Amino acid sequence: MKISNETIIEMYEKMVKIRKFETRAMNLFAEGQVGGFVHLYIGEEAVATGACESLRDDDYITSTHRGHGHILAKGGDMKYMMAELFGKETGYCKGKGGSMHIADATKGILGANGIVGAGHNIATGAGLGIQYKGTDQVCACFFGDASTNQSTFHEGLNLASTWKLPVVFICENNGYGISVSQARHQNITDISQRAVSYNIPGITVDGNDVFAVFEAVQEAVARARKGQGPTLIECKTYRWRGHFEGDPTVYRPEGELEQWKKKDPIPRVEKYILDNQVMTQAEMDKLNEKIDALVEEAVDFALASKFPDISSAVEDVYTDIVEEGRSR
């Protein structure tokens, strides 16, 4: 497949955006400016980027607790994401959700999710909605290796395959379910094998190769749009950080992280870009500077924003009922 220069540059930009956003979030957490549970996507950028490049604005995604990369790749705005991490009223969720629950319905983002495996059935339902309405949209469902041990994975794939729903199941196999390595949580190496049970295509790709992810998802999306049902795509990748910020990662064998760092998805694209004269080094540098500035703008925006008024705590539980507050 010939990938246009424009697409390559767009994917490069998104990957760098994710890396820089996440690195800044990591530092903000370390400085104590951002609290709660923060799960970073550093090292896995090629998966969200390659996948979302195949999606249209009106397509849907479901995300996970490690959701920042998906949100950015689907077109989420850094400013509102950063403000949400700070718990500010200008954040995507008005400070109610935090890092783990960022959503933007206007971009088809059906939400990051704190429950492992919750997305499989929600994505299946989005696929049902699309099929029902008769449009050619799709829903991409992102999930980790460990979530494929939840019943929801099997329930979702079964229903989506039986009803031929337009869902692309994208497994980010980063080798760990929290602290438990894949070999200790399931008896298979290639999760794509599980597609056999549902009689749908299942493939494994190098999740650190953005082009490989892009091509695989392109094909799956095309099938889904034609009404040919779901695909299971396993992207083998690795999370550089702990499960959450503050995780001492005592469970990682020595040298494993370093091995994966050699397969960093970003320099791989940079090399391709230079070798094929898609951009010059100077152009890439300029793009990087632009993104640095965007990240700083997002932090400034978050810092300048207010914390939500406490009266907002009782709003948004329902569309039509505001719950009772308390006198303090």
Partner 1 sequence: MRELTYGQGIKEGMRIKMLENPDVFIFGEDVGLFGGCFGVTSGLFEEFGEKRVRDTPISEGAIIGAAVGAAAVGLRPIPELMFVDFATVGMDQLVNQAAKMRYMFGGKLKLPMVVRLPSGGGVAAAAQHSQSLEAWFTHVPGLKVVYPSNAQDAIGLMLTAIDDDNPVIYLENKTLYAVASQVEDEVKPIPLGKANIKREGSDVTIITYGKQVYDSLKAAEMLEKDGIDVEVIDLRSLYPLDTEAIFESVKKTHKVVIVSEEAKRGSYAGELAAIIADECFYECDAPIKRVCALNTPIPFSGNLEAYVLPNADDVVQAVKSLF
Please choose, from the candidates 115, 231, 253, 257, the residue with its C-alpha nearest in 3D space to the C-alpha of residue 174. 257
Measured from the CB atom, the residue of 30 and 310 that comes closer to partner 1 is 310
Contact 210, 50 (CB under 8 A): yes
93 lines the binding site for partner 1 (CB under 8 A): yes
Q: Name the segment binding partner 1 (CB under 8 A); options: 189-197, 208-216, 288-296, 318-326.
A: 318-326
Q: What is the DSSP pairing of strand 167-173 with strand 231-236?
A: parallel
37 binds partner 1 (CB under 8 A): yes
Decide whether 118 or 220 has the Cβ nearer to partner 1.
Answer: 118
Quote the CA–CA distance of 33 and 18 in Å, as a whole number.
Answer: 19
Which two structure tokens, joined as six digits, stand for 16? Answer: 């760098």
User: CA-CA distance, 165 to 20, in Å (whole number)?
Assistant: 35
Interface region with partner 1, contact rule CB under 8 A, candidates 84-92, 120-128, 206-214, 278-286: 84-92
- Which of 223, 107, 244, 119 is closest to 172 using CA atoms? 119
Residue 33 contacts partner 1 per CB under 8 A: no
Three-state DSSP class for 294?
Answer: helix
Closest approach, Cβ 69 to partner 1, in A, equals 19
Cα–Cα distance, 60 to 109 (Å, whole number): 6
- Residue 254 engages partner 1 in binding (rule: CB under 8 A): no
Q: Which of 96, 164, 225, 268 contacts partner 1 by CB under 8 A?
A: 96
108 or 117, CB closer to partner 1?
117
Binding flag, residue 117, partner 1 (CB under 8 A) = yes
**285, two tokens:** 């540098």
Residues that bind partner 1 (CB under 8 A): 35-37, 84, 87-88, 93, 95-98, 100-101, 113-117, 146-147, 149-151, 177-180, 184-186, 250-251, 307-308, 310, 312-314, 317, 323-328
